[in-house]
Amino acid sequence: MPRPIDALIHTDALAHNLAAARAHAPDARLWAVVKADAYGHGIERAFAGLRGADGFALLDLDEAQRLRALDWRGPILLLEGVFEPRDLELCSRLDLWHAVHCDQQIDWLARHKTQAPHRVFLKLNSGMNRLGFRPAAFRQAWARLNALPQVEEISLMTHFSDADGPRGIAHQLAAFNTATHDLPGERSLSNSAAILRHMGPDLAGALASDWVRAGILCYGSAPDFPDHDIAHWQLQPAMTLRSRLIGTQDLQPGDTVGYGSSFTADRAMRIGVVACGYADGYPRLCPTGTPVLVDGVRCRTVGRVSMDMLTVDLAPVPGAGIGSPVTLWGRGPGDSLLPIDEVAAAAGTIGYELMCALARRVPVAVA
Ligand SMILES: Cc1ncc(COP(=O)(O)O)c(C=O)c1O
């Protein structure tokens, strides 16, 4: 028998979350962001739940090819554009739309020989200071693209750095509007946090965007946790990581647990040993007290997470024993639920990182 650990991808949750994004941005077309192998869910598996999107946004040509192999004929956007000139040939062949964020990419386009002109998304650096033209250079970039026979249509995009937090989007939105107000073309602005927090039919002065880019919300993680959780945004976890107890120990007061003896029992207690460790993608940084479900009941981890195992306090589930189901995140037995955001927060990180880091050795099934 293989180790009793696996991950489940919930097609119904992906579709539900996509519908939640649409409810916030009913007038926009929706990119489902599937970079990083659909945030660790697997492009092919995620596609089943996200096929109702208007397009897919990603980074890797390889992943774009996989989407075309699934017979997806709609739009695909390369969020970072091409990385070298010959990538443009594949863009022509696979009909990929691509971001243009620097002068080199325009130079490459100008030298590219194609029968079918390209659809590009010109990216403004409105304050994030990663990719994109600064406002002073934006117009000239637009004019250069507009003069190229290789370019059929220019859309305009930017990316928010603080849509999930108190700084918000106003300063970047103002920069975007100033730089683009008299330029034609479709606009794409919002990531998940902007969709959830700054768009919605009931929101006065809501952000307008022709295309929104929904990433993390599709996968059932709240972009602004702990301000809001997935219950607040009515999202459902799209990934469950589950395992079983493979051992138990009865501790006496003063006994310690695991490497570094970081946990000491202050009373007699029973602990369970779970077949899941950092080599499965469970964060080693999760301290004693990280939530975990045993038999669908909320428990806490004790001691350090090791490569293949972690340990839990079984006090809330006295009936648990070897073989009892353990939910590390996602859906548990019955109606139980453990949002990935809670585990991520315990490790000092975000749900994005945990789902992307699911290890290759964990078998994954579609539920
Ligand atoms: C340019 C761009 N748009 C959209 C997204 C989706 O963001 P989120 O997963 O927060 O919705 C990302 C992800 O980092 C991105 O880089």
pLDDT tens-digit readout, 107-160: 999 999 988 999 999 999 999 999 999 999 999 999 999 999 999 999 999 999
Count CA atoms closer than 13 A to 276's CA, side-chain side: 29
Please tell me if the CB atom of residue 33 comes closer than 6 angstroms to any atom of ligand 1. Answer: yes
Atom number of ligand 1 nearest to Cα 79: 1
- The residues that are catalytic are 35, 259
204 pLDDT tier (thresholds 50, 70, 90): low
pLDDT for res 115: 84
% the chain with pLDDT above 90: 96
Which among 187, 188, 191, 340 is the best mutation to test ligand 1's pocket, defined by most ligand atoms within 8 Å of the CB?
Answer: 191
Mean pLDDT over each residue of the chain, to the nearest integer:
97
Contact 161, 127 (CB under 8 A): yes
Single-letter amino acid, residue 135: P
User: Is-contact 42 63, C-beta < 8 A?
Assistant: no
pLDDT of residue 301: 98
**Among 37, 69, 2, 11, which Cα is nearest to 366's?**
11
Beta bridge partners of 100: 122
Q: How confident is the model at residue 307 (pLDDT cuts 50, 70, 90)?
A: very high
CB–CB of 334/298 below 8 Å? no
| Mean pLDDT of the region 242-257 | 98
Considering only CA atoms, which residue is closest to atom 5 of ligand 1? 191
223 lines ligand 1 (CB under 6 A): yes
User: According to the model, what pLDDT value does residue 62 have?
Assistant: 97
User: How far, in Å, is the centroid of ligand 1 from the Cα of 258?
Assistant: 38
Locate the ligand 1 atom nearest the alpha carbon of residue 99 and give its number: 1
Pairing relation of β-strands 55-58 and 29-33?
A: parallel
The two three-digit tokens of residue 323, written as one number: 């073989």
pLDDT category at 67 given cuts 50, 70, 90 is very high
Residue 36 pLDDT grade (very low, low, confident, very high; cuts 50, 70, 90)? very high
Give the model's confidence band at 206: pLDDT under 50 very low, under 70 low, under 90 confident, else very high: low
Q: Which is nearest to 82 in space by CA: 64, 62, 63, 99?
A: 99
Which residue spans within 267-332 are E strands per DSSP? 269-274, 291-294, 297-301, 310-313, 325-331
* Residue 201 banded pLDDT, cuts 50, 70, 90: confident
The reply to whether ligand 1 has any atom less than 6 angstroms from the CB of 215 is: yes
Q: How is residue 265 written in tokens?
A: 């029992």
Comparing CA positions, the residue from 229, 252, 359, 237 lying closest to residue 307 is 359
Lookup result for tokens 């768009």:
199
Using the predicted structure, report yes or no on whether residue 82 has a pLDDT greater than 90.
yes
pLDDT attached to residue 86: 96
Average pLDDT over residues 99-114: 97
Q: Average pLDDT of 5-30? A: 97
